[in-house]
Amino acid sequence: MILTVAGMMIPLAAHALNEQVWLLVNGGGGTYVMSDLNTEIDAINTAYAGTGWSFSRVERGRLFGIAMGFETASNWNFGAGVDRLDASTRASDASGALEYKFGANNWRLFGEYALQPVGNSTFFVGLGVGIIQESGKLIESASGSAPLEFKIGGSDPSYEGYIGGNWWITPQIGVTATAGYRYARVKEVNVEGVPFIMSNGEVMSLDFSGPSARLGIKLAAKSLGI
């Protein structure tokens, strides 16, 4: 929804201000807090010690994203985007497997202030606000049977701060890199709409907070040319 609205509004705003609009495709990764999840994993692994049934802890993951926005002559840069955050763990034995794919979508609106005006290679600082939306699945597999899949959901606000830089190779093609910290905790996770209850009786949270970095290709065009 954020990108849909931004896709309509950003070109119009840039056209009115006669500024440079851009599209960014990026990849990267970061570390996660995941205290609830890893505590539960440790408890399960302890309970099933010696059986071969063991989940790996979830402490980091990759991200892939897309964003769009525009740069202004007053050194400000505004945009909207989404990052797909990867997180998964799996356990198996001869009878079957259980896999948790805790992938989440981090929808974000952001503003950046650069040291140089529009179209110049420069460093910048940025702040973002958005929604972290858990959009994963639980997969149960048993020998001789088709896998069963269950949707994992939940959402909460997210925030981030970062520093970065733009390096324009040509007036239309640039490389953008950022590094910073993201707060993105889904406080109550559900499976098919039912709260995900841990062994201690509490509802599971998934915390994608932590340092993160992005590297991407930025494609720019003058708004009057769109």
Residues 6+ apart with CB under 8 A from 18: 223, 224
* pLDDT at position 18: 54
146 or 32: which carries more pLDDT confidence? Answer: 32
> How many other β-carbons are positioned within 10 Å of the β-carbon of residue 5?
11
Contact 89, 99 (CB under 8 A): yes
* pLDDT at position 16: 46
pLDDT in tens, 174-217: 999 999 999 999 999 999 999 999 999 999 999 999 999 999 99
**Which of 168, 159, 174, 169 minimizes the C-alpha distance to 212?**
159
pLDDT in tens, 26-68: 999 999 999 999 999 999 999 998 888 899 999 999 999 999 9
State how beta strands 173-186 and 148-168 pair. Answer: antiparallel
Beta strands in the chain (DSSP E): 20-31, 60-71, 76-85, 88-93, 96-101, 104-114, 122-142, 148-168, 173-186, 190-191, 194-195, 206-207, 210-222
* pLDDT at position 72: 87
Please state the φ and ψ torsions of residue 160, each to the nearest 5 degrees. Answer: -155, 155
Reported as a pLDDT band with limits 50, 70 and 90, residue 123 is very high
Domains and CATH numbers, the chain: 2-225 (2.40.160.20)
